[in-house]
A and B are shown apart, each in its own frame.
Chain A
């Protein structure tokens, strides 16, 4: 089946630092989303980004469909950014990566 690999699995940052999360796909990317699962378990939609670049405040995402990967950038991180970040590909059956657990320390 389709493989979705996320890296790094864990990331610890000091508040104010920048980070890059990566998502690799084993097959073509025609529907890709990034989500943030906060410490209370809520899944929040960050980006729908099958290709190109999008920005929303301190967050931005880039998908290079031809290379089968997507990147999520978090700038000037805050403690509220902590949680698990998932990328997901939906091609009939949705496939989620295992997530990157981000901890931002004050």
Chain B
């Protein structure tokens, strides 16, 4: 158990809908990262937050948004869902914001868009 929790574990929804994925980092970790893993794209970095502020942005679509709250948990919002958004979404956390830091991954949320 990495100490990173994600809810829900599974989510099935329809095209056009909006969903929210939640992540709680390990105790003491200030950084949260979001990743998308789909069959054809591999593991793609979406976005990183450090202590409530956006730190780095990857291949995140405009339909997606994220935030980190004062208690350090984070939410990833996915809207106007398309079939291609079906994927495993991972959250990871680390102590710091810098490059020299170890990331620990949560169990993931499996999103299915029908």
Contact = CB atoms under 8 A, between A and B. Distances in A.
Contacts of B88: 41
A95 B41 CA distance: 12
Given A93-B45, A93-B56, A94-B58, A43 B105 contact: yes
A88 B101 CA distance: 12
- Give the interface size bracket for B toward A: 20 to 34
A56 interface: no
B99 A45 contact: no
A82 B2 CA distance: 20
Interface in A53-106: 86, 88, 90-96, 98-99
B102 A45 contact: yes
B14 interface: no
Contacts of A35: 105
Interface residues of A, number: 22
A68 to B, nearest CB: 16
A41 B48 CA distance: 21
Interface string B59-97: 000000000000000000000000000001010000000
Interface of B: 2, 33, 35, 42-45, 48, 55-58, 88, 90, 99-105, 107-108, 110
Interface of A: 30-31, 33, 35, 41-45, 48, 50, 86, 88, 90-96, 98-99
